């Protein structure tokens, strides 16, 4: 799978987009996502893994905490462009 395909695959889930939006505001501990999202811990971990594999998110281990950071800010622009395109269609 090439890089572009991997990025768009990672962005194909509304849950992963929500994770990116949340950590774009400020880096968050994965445990904080578990408290604020309506999905279970295992599912969040799986979505985070997809984002890491695509190179969009990185994890900073601080003790037992996993702090999530946006690795490349351009992913936020990609999401915003897609949302703009959708709004123009309506």
User: pLDDT tens digit string along 3-52?
Assistant: 899 999 999 999 999 999 999 999 999 999 988 898 999 999 999 999 99
- 35: exposed, middle or buried (Cβ count in 10 Å: 0-12, 13-18, 19+): exposed
Contact (Cβ atoms closer than 8 angstroms) between residue 90 and residue 83: no
Q: How many domains does the chain have?
A: 1
Q: What is the CATH number of the domain that holds 51?
A: 1.10.10.10
Range of the domain at 85: 3-89
Percent pLDDT > 70 in the chain is 98
Q: DSSP code of 40?
A: -
69 φ, ψ to 5°? -130, 150
pTM over 0.85? The answer is yes
In this structure, the number of other CB atoms found within 10 A of the CB of residue 15 comes to 17
């Amino acid at each position: 799978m090439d890089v572009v395909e991997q990025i768009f695959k990672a962005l194909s889930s509304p849950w992963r987009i929500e994770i990116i939006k949340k950590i774009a505001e400020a880096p968050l501990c994965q445990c904080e996502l578990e408290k604020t999202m309506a999905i279970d811990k295992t599912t969040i971990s799986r979505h985070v893994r997809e984002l890491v594999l695509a190179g969009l998110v990185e994890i900073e281990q601080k003790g037992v905490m996993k702090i999530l950071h946006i690795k490349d800010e351009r992913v936020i622009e990609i999401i915003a462009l897609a949302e703009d395109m959708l709004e123009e269609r309506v």
